[in-house]
Amino acid sequence: MAERPKLAYEYDALEPHIDARTMEIHHTKHHQTYVDKLNNALEAHPDLQGTCTGKLLRTLETLPESIRTAVRNHGGGHANHSLFWEIMGPGGGGKPEGDLAQAIARDFGSFEAFREKLTNAAANQFGSGWGWLAYADGKLEVLARPNQDSPLMEGKVPVLGVDVWEHAYYLKYQNRRPDYLNAWWNTIRWDAVAARFEKAKAGSHTI
Ligand code: MN
């Protein structure tokens, strides 16, 4: 059974960048719905209930066709939001250090170039979706994907992601997605992102 993870911080901890009301609704309502619908889809498949969501997404094409869309949408939603809460926190922002900083400089030229690339990818994602920093074949890349699709579905490991569904920003930013994105950079906990990067390189990531 999938479970919604607790936040490691309060709902108002990301103020003024992301408001408390948005965080509370996003975490308690939107994320819970993904978890409930994923669990409902797996109800008739006890053999899959113990499989971690990341593995379900990596092996989507091998799942019974009757649950594939539900796992893609709701399993994707559960995995993506679990990552999202983890890579944000109070006192966030700034720049990465160490191996992650070096890999970003190697693959994008500079942190600033990477930031611009991810911001543009997320800003230009038409409709609902996510902007991603993903790791595959020894390299980092920026992706934008619709709905709750995860890089895991294409054999890549999500290291950092930003939710650009309107529910992630509409209360505070309305139609101003670029303003939300600029504010979001101030919430990133680069130590958590670096930990994900190390796991991705080692192949020991779960979601
Ligand atoms: Mn969301």
In angstroms, what is the span from residue 185 Cα to ligand 1's centroid?
A: 17
In terms of domains, do 79 and 125 share one?
no
- In sequence order, what DSSP letters do the residues of the chain get, joined into one string? ---PPPPSS-TTTTTTTS-HHHHHHIIIIIHHHHHHHHHHHHTT-GGGTTS-HHHHHHTGGGS-HHHHHHIIIIIHHHHHHHHHHHHB-TT--S---HHHHHHHHHHHSSHHHHHHHHHHHHHT--SSEEEEEEEETTEEEEEEEETT--GGGGT-EEEEEEE-SGGGTHHHHTT-HHHHHHHHGGGB-HHHHHHHHHHHHHT----
In terms of domains, do 111 and 172 share one?
yes
Confidence (pLDDT) at 60: 97
In angstroms, what is the span from residue 106 Cα to ligand 1's centroid?
A: 31
In angstroms, what is the span from residue 38 Cα to ligand 1's centroid?
A: 15
In angstroms, what is the span from residue 129 Cα to ligand 1's centroid?
A: 9
In terms of domains, do 74 and 109 share one?
no
Confidence (pLDDT) at 204: 83
Q: Is residue 1 part of a domain?
A: no
User: Model confidence over 54-83: pLDDT tens digits?
Assistant: 999 999 999 999 999 999 999 999 999 999
Q: Is residue 69 part of a domain?
A: yes
Indicate the residue among 65, 86, 107 that finishes a domain: 86
In terms of domains, do 102 and 193 share one?
yes
Q: Is residue 58 part of a domain?
A: yes
pLDDT tens-place values along the chain, 207 residues long: 899 999 999 999 999 999 999 999 999 999 999 999 999 999 999 999 999 999 999 999 999 999 999 999 999 999 999 999 999 999 999 999 999 999 999 999 999 999 999 999 999 999 999 999 999 999 999 999 999 999 999 999 999 999 999 999 999 999 999 999 999 999 999 999 999 999 999 988 777
Give the C-alpha separation, 40 to 48, whole Å.
12
Indicate the residue among 66, 86, 106 that finishes a domain: 86
In angstroms, what is the span from residue 37 Cα to ligand 1's centroid?
A: 15
41: domain CATH number? 1.10.287.990
Confidence (pLDDT) at 206: 75
In angstroms, what is the span from residue 87 Cα to ligand 1's centroid?
A: 14
123: domain CATH number? 3.55.40.20
In terms of domains, do 59 and 128 share one?
no
In angstroms, what is the span from residue 169 Cα to ligand 1's centroid?
A: 9
Confidence (pLDDT) at 84: 98
In terms of domains, do 112 and 183 share one?
yes
In terms of domains, do 78 and 161 share one?
no
In terms of domains, do 183 and 141 share one?
yes
Q: Is residue 48 part of a domain?
A: yes
Q: Is residue 187 part of a domain?
A: yes
In terms of domains, do 70 and 129 share one?
no
* Identity of the amino acid at 130: W
In terms of domains, do 149 and 105 share one?
yes
Confidence (pLDDT) at 23: 98
User: Model confidence over 19-37: pLDDT tens digits?
Assistant: 999 999 999 999 999 999 9
Confidence (pLDDT) at 72: 98
In terms of domains, do 117 and 79 share one?
no
Confidence (pLDDT) at 149: 98
Indicate the residue among 41, 62, 86 that finishes a domain: 86
The number of domains in the chain is 2
In terms of domains, do 119 and 187 share one?
yes
Expressed as residue numbers, the domain containing 35 is 20-86
Confidence (pLDDT) at 205: 77
